[in-house]
Amino acid sequence: MKKWIKWWLFVVIFLLLGIAYGWKEYNRTQKSTFDIDVFASTTATSLVKEFEVDETSANKKYNDKVISVKGIIQSIELTDSTQRIILKGETGGVIGELEKSERKKTAVLKAGDSLILKGVCTGFLMDVILVRTIIVNQ
Amino acid sequence: MKKVYLIAIGIILVFICNAQNRLITKAATISFYSKAPMENIEATNKSGISVIDKNTGQLEFSVLLKGFNFERALMQEHFNENYVESDQFPKAGFKGKITDQTKVNFAKDAIYNVPITGILTLHGVSKEITTTAATITIRNGITEGEAAFNINVADFNIKIPSIVKDKIAKTVKITVKATYQTL
């Protein structure tokens, strides 16, 4: 094979690989919380306290990280087709916005039950908010 | 001693009356949409906080920027890291007023058009915005609010990289929907 053909073949393959990678990256969806290791495990009470004491530090520590939070269910809410579980804190609580796959698990849960949630921390308003949350134990 | 009790009871009554005049939700849906030649950008956050004072018409909402959910992970990363810089500015909020809250009878089922004006804070920049596309709906005694407004991203010092400048919309439509409960 002539040298210039080899060279062009290399360039075409390189470009095709680049396009394939770009396309895959562009269409990438969020990784499931099931497949991400837990960054930290804590309780609802101590997590809320950390945010109340120093929100900036707690944001740096927990935001965008997958954490597992143990607590007592304060309420289970269905709002705008989203299922949320709220764990009690002393003042605020921890709101877990559940993954769609977790909805059926809430049927057997009730206020007062102990529960561990695993989700991605997004910060603190009146409560700490976890998104893409899954139920670890029941 | 009686005086102390009376003052304490008075304070508690004032607190209770004030609380009853306030409506709150911790599950406001805040979404934004921008249509552009390159790609439409759309995201939703379902854990916004919003409070309305029925007496004064004061209205507030607050939302965590990291809580916006995009269909594509890459778009969500660009939104947080390059556009709104959510590590530095984790929240967006609005503090405003229903221009004429006397038009709203919170005890009567109806749909009320309520122009709203106030200050939107995003990306560390506060700017006055006004919308006439807002309604308060009273349905079976439950208060629902909905508002939509457009913002120019440049007004909030959000920079669009020059490589995609002509392909991404410079205006974003923000919609807020909330079902309130008495505080």
Give residue-wise pLDDT tens across range B99-119: 988 889 999 999 999 999 999
CATH code for position B75: 2.40.128.110
Residue B64 reports pLDDT greater than 90:
yes
Q: Hey, is B40 helix, strand or coil?
A: coil
Distance CA B116, CA B136 (A): 11
Per DSSP, the three-state class of A31 is coil
Range of the domain at B70: 23-182
pLDDT at residue B29 greater than cutoff 80 = yes
Contact A30 B73 (CB under 8 A): yes
- Burial string for B164-179 (b: 16+ CB within 10 Å, else e) reads eeeebbeebbbebbbb
**Cβ within 8 Å, pair B72-A63:** no
Do A125 and B91 make contact, defined as CB atoms within 8 angstroms? Answer: yes
The residue length of chain A stands at 138
Q: Is A123–B91 a contact, with Cβ atoms under 8 angstroms apart?
A: yes
pLDDT tens string B157-180? 998 877 777 777 889 999 999 999
Cα–Cα distance measured from residue A17 to residue A134, given in angstroms and rounded to the nearest whole number? 35
The single-letter DSSP state of residue A28 is P
User: How far is A134 from B27, CA to CA, in rounded Å?
Assistant: 19
Contact yes or no for A27 and B72 at CB 8 A: yes
Note the ipTM here: 0.85
Query: Is B8 contained in some domain?
Result: no
Residue B92: per-residue pLDDT: 97
How far apart, in whole angstroms, are the C-alpha atoms of residue A25 and residue B72?
A: 9
Q: How confident is the model at residue B13 (pLDDT cuts 50, 70, 90)?
A: very low
Q: Is A24 on the interface with B (CB under 8 A)?
A: no
| Residue B38 maps to a domain | yes
Q: Count how many domains chain B has.
A: 1
Here the contacts of B165-170 (C-beta below 8 Å, separation 24 or greater) are B166/B37, B167/B36, B167/B37, B167/B38, B167/B39, B168/B34, B168/B36, B168/B38, B168/B39, B168/B41, B169/B34, B169/B35, B169/B36, B169/B41
Paired sense of beta strands A94-98 and A128-137, if any? parallel
Nearest Cα residue to A125 out of A40, A63, A78: A63
Contact: A80, B177; criterion CB under 8 Å: yes
> Residue length, chain B?
183
- pLDDT score for A25: 84
Q: List the single residue in B with minimal CA-CA distance to A119.
A: B67
Residues in chain A within 8 Å Cβ distance of B67: 122-123, 129, 131
A110 touches chain B (CB under 8 A): no
A70-109 pLDDT per residue, tens: 999 999 997 657 799 999 998 899 999 999 889 888 889 9
Across B32-36, average pLDDT: 86
- Give the model confidence (pLDDT) of B127-137 as tens digits: 999 999 999 99
Tell me the three state secondary structure of residue B37. Answer: coil
Residue B7, in any domain of the structure: no
CB B104 within 8 A of CB B136: yes
User: How far does chain A reach from its first CA to its final CA, in angstroms?
Assistant: 65
**Range of lowest pLDDT (A62-71, A72-81, B130-139, B144-153):** A72-81
**What CA–CA distance (Å, rounded) separates A32 from A133?**
9
Provide the 10 A C-beta neighbour count for residue B73: 15
Return the residue in B22, B26, B72, B88 with the most chain A beta carbons within 10 A, the one to mutate for interface testing: B26
Q: Is B26 on the interface with A (CB under 8 A)?
A: yes
Name the minimum distance, in Å, from the CA of A136 to any CA of chain B. 21
- Is A84–B27 a contact, with Cβ atoms under 8 angstroms apart? yes
